[in-house]
Amino acid sequence: MAVLRGNLMERISKDDVKHVAKLAELEFSEKDIEKITSQLDRILEHVANISSVNTEGITPTSHILDIKNVFRDDMAEQSVTQESALKNAPDEANDGFKVPKID
């Protein structure tokens, strides 16, 4: 349910913050959770003032410019070498990027 904090003064809870951190692949210490929860709550409470704006029949803007149909032709361009592809790899094994056990 899209509840607007502006309307029902729904506060963001520590559990919300933990869930969002999971989605964002971030982690916080318990004490940081406290802090960030109150900071987010304050910010979200402020931005929720837009809920009072009447946007009946107003279309959302995701592009300021009315550009459309920007395409490339299907022409091959030079790829980078395997060496430069792997150049920044934190860990590398047989020509690939190595990652720890997937969980």
Instruction: Give the number of other CB atoms < 10 A from CB of residue 37.
Output: 19
Q: Does 26 bind another protein (CB under 8 A)?
A: yes
Is 77 a binding residue for another protein by CB under 8 A? The answer is yes
The verdict on 85 binding another protein (CB under 8 A) reads yes
Please tell me the count of residues contacting another protein according to CB under 8 A.
73
CB of 81 to another protein, least distance (A): 8
- Provide the Cα torsion 38, 40, 43, 45; round to 10°: -70
| One of 9, 13, 34, 98 touching another protein (CB under 8 A) | 98
3-state secondary structure of 44: helix
30-47 helix and 14-23 helix, angle to the nearest 10 degrees = 90
Q: Is 8 in the site for another protein (CB under 8 A)?
A: no
Instruction: Indicate whether 31 belongs to the interface with another protein (CB under 8 A).
Output: no
